[in-house]
Amino acid sequence: MVRDAIVIFDGTFDGFLCVIYDFYYKKISPLVIQSVTDTQLTLNEDEHHVTTNTEQAARVLKALHKKISDDAAWRIYYAFLCGETNKYMAIFEYIKMGFRLEHMVDSHLSVDCVRRVHDLARHTGREAHLLNGFCRFAETTSGVYYCEITPKNDVLSLIATHFTQRFMNQQWIIHDKRRNQAAIYDGHTYVIATVPSNATFVYAEGEQETQELWTAFFNTLAIEARKNPKLQRQLLPLYFRKNMTEFKHRFETHAKTKLEVVD
């Protein structure tokens, strides 16, 4: 017998895959799917708390690849990483439809859940692609290279995978300050760890001069007659720039000006 319930999971991708597992094997049909971080108090509603099990999650993931397609499995993962709210039910309905229609599910873009999953995945993929080119690393006193990002989507794992290939022999840290997480790479493998919100890193001697030289080069290279701010904003979102060496001084100057006005 199917049991309707508000389904609550731990917010991880494995946890979400276990939501799918519980639907098919425990007959728990979600009315709403919530992570523990955004759970809202409900009255007179049955709740089901999902237990994350890596073996069950692996079985579901294998089924996504086999019964739907490899592309669909990756699309589901990218959609899950999207920072938009109210995404879980759309992904859930997409998976249900995918198990029924198999690889043909992605041809039904007129269906809300299919279109939304495509949009969510595209949003995540675009941001990760841009950050692969716009991450700016600075050398610290320990010799580790450090980069700050504040992405809208949870793309840290996607970016870290890219830089393990690009800087495979260099130790580095990519710090997602929005989520207080960091990908830490030791030259062989990376791990994602929680970082305190007040964590600081000391830059190596000469790093400031290097950044100033790069900023001067960037400003000198620009051709005044060919400046196109509108196009630049389309190719390089404004919220990326506060973490980019060549734009950072503008944000710092702007912030200082605002403080002076307030004072």
How would you write 185-215 as a 3-class SS string?
A: ECCCCEEEEECCCCCCCCECCCHHHHHHHHH
64 secondary structure, DSSP code = I
For residue 258, pLDDT over 60 is answered with no
β-strand partners of 203: 140
Could you tell me the sign of the dihedral formed by the alpha carbons of 167, 168, 171, 172, in that order? positive
140 secondary structure, DSSP code = B
For residue 197, pLDDT over 70 is answered with yes
State pLDDT tens for residues 84-137.
Answer: 888 999 999 999 999 999 999 999 999 999 999 999 999 999 999 999 988 989
Model confidence band, residue 260 (pLDDT cutoffs 50, 70, 90): very low
Question: What distance in Å separates the CA atoms of residue 95 and residue 90, rounded to the nearest whole number?
Answer: 9
Find the distance separating the first CA and the last CA of the chain, reported in whole Å.
65
State pLDDT tens for residues 27-55.
Answer: 999 999 999 987 665 655 689 999 999 99
**Closest to 72 in 3D by CA, of 53, 55, 96:** 96
Question: What distance in Å separates the CA atoms of residue 81 and residue 123, rounded to the nearest whole number?
Answer: 10
